[in-house]
Structure 1
Amino acid sequence: MTIKFKSPYRHRSVVPGLPAPSEYSALLDEITANGWYSNFGPLVRRLELGLLGAFGRPTECCVSCSSATTGLSAALLAADVTGAVLVPAFTFAASLGAIRAAGMTPVVVDVDPESWVIDNDLLHQALTETGARAAMLVAPFGIAYDWTKEIATCREHGAAVIIDNAAGLGGPRAPHGNGENIFEVFSMHATKPFAIGEGGAIFASLKSDMPLRAALNFGLASYQNAHGPFWGFNGKMSELHAAVGLAQLARFDRIVRHRQAYVRRYLARLATYSNLRYPLDSKAAPWQLFPILMPTPQIAERFVATAANEGLEIRRYYRPSLSDWPSTRIFSPCRVAEDLAERMCALPIRSAEPDADLVMKIVFEALDVALD
């Protein structure tokens, strides 16, 4: 029996942009000939080298994983930390889940109202008072951010840095200085710009290559090489997903150019509105979605409802704030993140989809109604 999914929207917020099977069918034949389907096989290694060449640095390794969430957990294990891990309140729930999955305790910290990233003063205070040995720094919406201050704060406290940049693969990356115990994790989920269906990539210092692979493979490699981590889980990427990734890598420059061009169209139209906040640099991300901060929660609700009446899905990120999740330890009140979560809307991005012009039209008609 064939099961078909039918979206309640004529225009979904995210349209997965995977390569056609014909673009990687030869690689599937190669997998069959090799008889190697998982466990860091030849296509996985080829994809890692390709990603490293396209987006990495000579001082880094690139380790693939089954998802960005498993990548975050593996990075925490590879950093050899235990106990509390700081995480910003304004992020997707996967950041929280990855810390818990690694056997550690998330401690939620409020964010800066301008940058939307973890507040550096609170980061310093929380590291001091909790004794946390790691901090997860989240790049909201995959927007490039210079982490120099935050990394310096973590270094001062001897804390590892895990950068959750799930939506940012293919965007600019800020330098990290001495990269030991600094990990940057990206997603290749079907909804992301670099879409392969499901998967992730971890960029870290060369020294972290084996510990990351051990964490993603039940800790087995650590026992063979006498260094940690000494436990882990199955978080490896399959050869099948790597085949899709190699095909995606070959065409990804064009995808990013199209998505950034769509953002430039947004920016040109948004310039006529005086009461909205949004990123101004079209090249700051590969753009899974484009965030706009509404003046009030009520206007945000009206905008979403008006667009839905025209068949367009508008998503709300990151809602609710992690500070509102049950059984979560909060360092201090997270008023900024809670306010952002109630007012933030994420506009759809199109590459070359047939509905690109119509989506743009519906967005601005709904904005006019919501702001009236």
Structure 2
Amino acid sequence: MLPKAETLAPYLRQIDETRLYTNHGPLVETFERRLADWMGFEKKTVLSCGSGSMALIGAILALRHRFQRPGNLCLMPTYTFVATAAAAQACGYQCHLVDVDRDSWALDPQVLLQHDRLADTALVIPVAPYGRPVDFQSWQAFTNETGIPVVIDAAACLDWMLTSQVALPATIPVAVSLHTTKSFGCGEGGLLLVQDPDLIMDGFRAINFGFLDSREAVIPGLNGRMSEYHAAVGLAELDSFDSKLSKWHSVAAAYHAAVSQREDTLPGHLWTCPDVSGCYVIYEAASAEDALRAQRRLMECGIDTRFWYGSGIQAHPAYSHLSTDPLTNTHDLAGRLLGLPCYTDLSATDIGRIVKALI
């Protein structure tokens, strides 16, 4: 649930007064500054974008301008949402899909150091699946050692970053989504987070047609800016986010309480915040067969579920031509990680029904 009309009204009146509606207006600047303050970052480390995809694209174009690394090969996990591959391809990269670690569900930088295509790689995009915390410094060490630019797709990580006082990597942009479905949302929006002030300026150029303080396009760019209206929603969301975060944690606690109250043992593991983003509850079944059985039981009770990343990027017709490594862990995880209902006003009674059907 996003902020209601009455909480938006003061910000909408500001838009009426300034008559500034987009192009990095005062509400956008306030939104960026307040987010930076909350996370303990320097002022110019947060750049708002029109969507999470635009944040990824802005980060990729900024790195391409900075590093000018030859080639167009991009290594990324196949266990992710298709937006990761779409952003890389939109920037002219050829994606090669890599298997993920069985425990973290993500790329392992130490394993990737041994990849047989590393010498030809121009970009790496690690993903934080379901908003799981990312070891930013391990990826900074990877880029320091290899010279390969890295962009971290942390689409669902903002609630973790707002509560953990995490340190950003020195030269790696982090892209975040503010889509309605995320724990912190503004309808449609994204953030590019990076310590390096030159990279943040190149990111701004990339989402501003290549312009910065002039009418000359210095780098290739497009329109990926956040409007004042979406910033208004973001500011209202920020005003009450402590309360919303508490609701996400209450939902997680209610799930675990419902499991503990059952005499039968849950035949799998339940992942909730803070181990994943608050907007997810993930049931990790012991096998793909167990996950499908659980899904059928839930459907019979009128309860919807999702295999959020499907079978991986390579299973989508638009990306089935992409080269891949052997995907043993991806095939295993994709069949076992089942998304359960999760929203801020999900009642304890409904959660009890879900858990009963699951067991």
TM-score clears 0.5 = yes
In the alignment, the residues of structure 2 paired with residue 306 and residue 75 of structure 1 have an alpha-carbon distance, to the nearest angstrom, of 42
- What count of residue pairs does the alignment treat as equivalent? 346
Equivalent residue number for residue 186 of structure 2: 196
In the alignment, the residues of structure 1 paired with residue 156 and residue 329 of structure 2 have an alpha-carbon distance, to the nearest angstrom, of 22
1:265 to 254, 269, 285: 254
Q: Give, as a single letter, the amino acid of the residue that structure 2 aligns with 1:41.
A: G
The answer to whether the aligner puts 1:152 opposite 2:141 as a matched pair is yes
Maintained 8 Å contact 1:84/1:132 = yes
In the alignment, the residues of structure 2 paired with residue 297 and residue 169 of structure 1 have an alpha-carbon distance, to the nearest angstrom, of 30
Equivalent residue number for residue 313 of structure 2: 322
Per-residue CA shift, 1:261-320, capped at 9, x if unaligned? 22123234446736413447x434541111121122222222223222322221112212
In the alignment, the residues of structure 2 paired with residue 119 and residue 194 of structure 1 have an alpha-carbon distance, to the nearest angstrom, of 27
Equivalent residue number for residue 57 of structure 2: 73
Cα deviation for residue 174 of structure 1 reads 7.7
Aligned CA RMSD, in angstroms, stands at: 2.4
- Determine helix, strand or coil for the equivalent of 2:186: coil
In the alignment, the residues of structure 2 paired with residue 18 and residue 68 of structure 1 have an alpha-carbon distance, to the nearest angstrom, of 17
The answer to whether the aligner puts 1:103 opposite 2:87 as a matched pair is no
Cα distance change, pair 318–174 in 1 and its aligned pair in 2 (3 A): farther
Equivalent residue number for residue 293 of structure 1: 284
Cα distance change, pair 187–178 in 1 and its aligned pair in 2 (3 A): closer
2:296 to 305, 313, 327: 305
Cα distance change, pair 29–59 in 1 and its aligned pair in 2 (3 A): closer
Cα distance change, pair 328–362 in 1 and its aligned pair in 2 (3 A): farther
Cα deviation for residue 350 of structure 1 reads 3.1
Equivalent residue number for residue 186 of structure 1: 176
Cα distance change, pair 68–21 in 1 and its aligned pair in 2 (3 A): same
Equivalent residue number for residue 4 of structure 1: none
Cα deviation for residue 327 of structure 1 reads 4.0
The answer to whether the aligner puts 1:334 opposite 2:327 as a matched pair is yes
Q: Give, as a single letter, the amino acid of the residue that structure 2 aligns with 1:324.
A: A
Cα deviation for residue 196 of structure 1 reads 1.2
Maintained 8 Å contact 1:211/1:222 = no
Cα distance change, pair 177–202 in 1 and its aligned pair in 2 (3 A): closer
Which segment drifts farther, 296-305 or 189-198? 296-305
Q: Give, as a single letter, the amino acid of the residue that structure 1 aligns with 2:231.
A: A
Maintained 8 Å contact 1:84/1:106 = yes
In the alignment, the residues of structure 2 paired with residue 335 and residue 362 of structure 1 have an alpha-carbon distance, to the nearest angstrom, of 34
Which segment drifts farther, 282-291 or 211-220? 282-291
In the alignment, the residues of structure 2 paired with residue 237 and residue 225 of structure 1 have an alpha-carbon distance, to the nearest angstrom, of 21
- Determine helix, strand or coil for the equivalent of 2:126: strand
The answer to whether the aligner puts 1:54 opposite 2:44 as a matched pair is no
Q: Give, as a single letter, the amino acid of the residue that structure 2 aligns with 1:146.
A: D
In the alignment, the residues of structure 2 paired with residue 245 and residue 233 of structure 1 have an alpha-carbon distance, to the nearest angstrom, of 22
In the alignment, the residues of structure 1 paired with residue 60 and residue 213 of structure 2 have an alpha-carbon distance, to the nearest angstrom, of 15
Maintained 8 Å contact 2:140/2:169 = no
Structure 2, unpaired ranges of 5+: none
Which segment drifts farther, 124-133 or 302-311? 124-133
Cα distance change, pair 324–318 in 1 and its aligned pair in 2 (3 A): same
- Determine helix, strand or coil for the equivalent of 1:133: strand
2:82 to 60, 68, 93: 93
Which segment drifts farther, 271-280 or 299-308? 271-280
Equivalent residue number for residue 31 of structure 1: 15
Q: Give, as a single letter, the amino acid of the residue that structure 1 aligns with 2:242.
A: D
TM-score by length of 2: 0.88
Q: Give, as a single letter, the amino acid of the residue that structure 2 aligns with 1:120.
A: P
Cα deviation for residue 129 of structure 1 reads 3.5
Maintained 8 Å contact 2:77/2:97 = yes
Maintained 8 Å contact 2:49/2:189 = yes
Cα deviation for residue 201 of structure 1 reads 0.9
In the alignment, the residues of structure 1 paired with residue 156 and residue 7 of structure 2 have an alpha-carbon distance, to the nearest angstrom, of 24
In the alignment, the residues of structure 2 paired with residue 72 and residue 315 of structure 1 have an alpha-carbon distance, to the nearest angstrom, of 24
In the alignment, the residues of structure 2 paired with residue 174 and residue 131 of structure 1 have an alpha-carbon distance, to the nearest angstrom, of 35
